[in-house]
Amino acid sequence: MQGKIIALIEGRLSNPFEILGPHKKEGKIIIRTYLPHARKVWLITGVKEYIFNEIEKGFFQIELESLDERHYRLKTVDYNGLEEEFIDPYSFKKPILGELDLHLINEGTHHKIYDKLGAHSMKINGIKGTHFAVWAPNAERVSVIGDFNRWDSRIHMMRPLKNSGIWEIFIPGVEEGALYKYEIRSRYHGNIIRIKSDPFAFYSEVRPKTASIVVDIDSYKWNDSEWMDKRRHSNPYESPISIYEVHAGSWMRVPHENNRFLNYRELAYNLIPYVKELGFTHIELMPVTEHPFDGSWGYQTTGYYSATSRYGSPEDLMYFIDRCHQNAIGVILDWVPSHFASDDHGLRFFDGTCLYEHEDPRKGYHPDWSSLVFNYGRNEVRNFLVGSALFWLDKYHADGLRIDAVASMLYLDYSRKEGEWIPNVYGGRENLEAIAFLKYLNETVHHYFPGVLTIAEESTAWPMVSRPTYLGGLGFSMKWNMGWMHDTLEYFSKDPIYRKYHQGNLTFSMLYAFSENFILPLSHDEVVHGKGSLIGKMPGDNWQRFANLRLLYAYMFGHPGKKLLFMGSEFGQWREWDYNSSIDWHLLQYESHRGVQLLVKDLNSLLKREPALHERDFQWTGFEWIDFHDSENSIIAFMRKAKNTEDFLIFVYNFTPVIRLNYRIGVPRPGFYKEILNTDSSIYWGSNTGNHGGVYAEPVPAHGRPYSINLTLPPLAALVFKPQ
């Protein structure tokens, strides 16, 4: 016993429950407690008080004939005369986590792991407190430290649960709002001490502080049952999807209050009406998982279960998402399982070993971002990540997850030179463990949450990213079309006089447009790091730049695929995006910028009301070329078709500033073709060249069709016609 007492005092005893709390011995009850700040300690049971004997410095013991209460109180007085009274946490002998929980966690299949690990307020035998649990299999001792125990690791040492690597303790009296961390003494590297934030924390201090915060995330009362029920029975593949990508910290700021962020509730009051007015169907939030460095935009995460406190509390984020749903707006969250921040309070070297990351830097270090790569082959790590994905869908009612940097997960040699990576067991460059993880992730998410989207940002030609796993795919719902984005922006950056030599940049995407379920992204990645803004990429004078930008958006909305546009681009912001400041709202005082914004609104409206623009986004049968051969004049034309083949739209694009008169386009049937959109309209700040509301088809064959319409094509403009 003396050896265990010394080990306890030195912080080396793995299971303090072996000697602390009540123990039966020879018909008597011996109670021990270790309170290094105490000068005296009393046991309080009923109306009786018993004083403890001090065996070693701070180590107290008492022997009783019987004990009236299972969970007795302790009263202490310290050397400054401060008195405290509390229930002994070591009187709670029975573990909270059961054998099934431990088995599933170690197996990597505990899909509600977030209900078990971390800090959870609860009642045990009528006593309120907080249950703490953490995975640290290579620890010799783990303690909860916090503002409730003077951040002293000697007060609340946890117990290990069998051979699971899980440590836990229930601490009575710890309430919501309490700050805490874990102090971990490793078995290795000279018993190194690690002080860590909780990997399963639901809430954290505002950076640069790093403590975790006890919070109840199950108390929010949701009001989105109608939306959630509709989502479960929806078919997103045939629905209009237009996503407004937002960085919460720079969409709008408050200049007269030190340029501060809007909080989640202020975003609800300001962002939601704006998005609803412009007609976007979804908001995509760049990562709102907790992260230490603003300049990472959230993509270097430390808190995979923690909504960043920069913008408010977990309940505030729930309110924002709830209000989005009540306004028929879906919410997609950026989520980053590809790498994690290397900050010391986070997951790195968590228990004195490379627990979450690979030990070999050729697999565990990411050269592009100086971050760390998860060990996807480890069951508990896979469970941690899949649990995080399910957590945001379950607790926060998110409608989708956009998974960042999937390409970096798929390839072992991603951004690595020869000798800097390790081949797989077959000698190849494919990361087999990451591939298996992604498949399992998608299968699990779609099993529990039908109607939810998983979206891959994947920039290579990896096949079948958005095809079901049972067909050999990765199982994502959709994939960003990075090839379309690159080719399209390269084309639009050309002076129109040279565009005839680059017609293939426009047409090539149709060779693979239906190989995946594509989203067409004009995202934040295209307006940072010296790339300039979208309008800044456009050639020509001021008028031509705006005309080109409007033409770009009309081309995107006509092209098969769902749509994504980054904030500020919807009104043609000139300045490159800066995460430290608001987007340039003052530009809306100018008619040119308001024209772009109005066009985006009208394109979203067209997308939603015309089945031809969304029902067959992912099917060849929804698209038909009319003509792509007129490279000399830089003109293309095509049809988009609904399930009802009689319902179609005609798109005609003129990518030069030259007005084309008497330009004939083949159409499939006679009748009046109404001009339902013209990006050169004066309401968009165009020249107002057009076709007076529409044209009648004539029995003049063109482009292999028996009828044709004779058009005036405006400069740098798109026309959309609907047969009446």
Please, are residues 259 and 581 in contact by the beta-carbon 8 Å criterion? Answer: yes
Q: How many CB atoms lie within 10 A of CB 574?
A: 14
Q: Which residues contact 250 (CB under 8 A, 6 or more apart)?
A: 577, 578, 579, 580, 581, 582, 583
SS3 annotation, 312-366 = CCHHHHHHHHHHHHHCCCEEEEEECCCCECCCCCCCCCCCCCCCCECCCHHHHEE
Q: What are phi and psi of 42, to 5 degrees?
A: -120, 145
Of 457, 570, 602, 610, the catalytic one is 457
Confirm whether 457 is a catalytic residue.
Answer: yes
3-state secondary structure of 70: coil
Q: Which of 351, 404, 602, 680 is catalytic?
A: 404
Specify whether the CB–CB gap between 67 and 104 falls below 8 A: no
DSSP of 25-37: ETTEEEEEEE-TT
| Residue 684 vs residues 567, 602, 661: alpha-carbon distances, Å | 19, 10, 21
- In the block, tokens 């125990």 appear at 149
d(C-alpha 578, C-alpha 47), whole Å: 65
Vertex 197: Cα angle to 194 and 199 (nearest 5): 110
Instruction: Count the alpha carbons within 13 Å of 648 in the hemisphere toward its beta carbon.
Output: 17
What's CA 670's distance to the chain center, in Å? Answer: 49
Q: Which residue blocks in 559-627 are alpha helix, DSSP H?
A: 591-609
If DSSP states are collapsed to H, E and C, what string results for 442-479? Answer: HHHHHHHCCCCEEEECCCCCCCCCCCCHHHCCCCCCEE
Tokens of 707: 């009828």
Sign of CA dihedral 406, 407, 412, 415: negative
Q: Which two tokens stand for residue 683?
A: 């309401």
The 8-class DSSP code of residue 521 comes to E
Residues designated as active site: 404, 457
